Amino acid sequence: MSTRTPVSSLVANSLLLAGVFSLAACGGGAPLLEPQTIARAEAAAEPPPLFDERGRPRVSPPQLVPVDTAARTRPGLYATRAQFEWEELMAGPTTILLDVDALGTVASTVLLAQQVRGLRDSRGLAYFVRARRAVDAAQVVNTLADDGFAPVFMIVR
């Protein structure tokens, strides 16, 4: 039995290696996306805006208002998860998420919001509250709104 490699096999392997190296050298073969293409793709995924052109909160559509009246908020500002995620992406430093479940209680969530407001200028901040129990989220939103926080959205869906 011969241990020598046939010439055709050596040629094929050499061509394969040359192809791999040239593909890697030119950036992997996939065309790079232009910034305009990326911006258009991101814009296509943009959910309905929460704010108007002046930066004021838009009225929430009726389908976002909780059926349970105990879970409704006095400000009446509701956001979907997609809207919150978009706001966080576009205005991260001014988007504050308050997660009632992570903080344990309604009172501790309100306290955290008050501490955030005490640490920095709160102008331009938008607060978003989420909880597994919509009633807990509504209670936080209502307490913060009564304390002068604005805008405060409750994340639904």
**What domain count does the chain have?**
1
Q: Is residue 89 part of a domain?
A: yes
Average pLDDT over residues 65-70: 95
Domain assignment present for 5: no
CB burial of 45-79 (b: ≥16 within 10 Å; e: otherwise) equals: eeeeebeeeeeebeebeeebbbeeeebbbebebbb
User: What is the structure's pLDDT at 19?
Assistant: 52
| pLDDT tens per residue across span 29-38 | 444 445 555 4
Q: Which two structure tokens, joined as six digits, stand for 82?
A: 């997609």
Q: Find the domain containing 55 and state its range.
A: 35-155
* Residue 9 belongs to a domain: no
Q: Does the model's pTM come out above 0.85?
A: no
Per residue in 4-21, pLDDT (tens digit) is 445 445 445 554 445 545
Instruction: Give a yes or no: residue 103 inside a domain.
Output: yes
SS (H, E, C) 17-74: HHHHHHHHHCCCCCCCCCHHHHHHHHHHCCCCCCECCCCCECCCCHHHCCCCHHHCCC
> What pLDDT does 10 receive?
47
> Does residue 105 belong to any structural domain of this protein?
yes
Q: Is residue 123 part of a domain?
A: yes
Whether residue 57 has a cis bond before it, omega within 30° of 0: no
* pLDDT tens digit sequence for 97-151: 999 999 999 999 999 999 998 887 778 899 999 999 999 999 999 999 999 999 9
- pLDDT of 20 reads 46
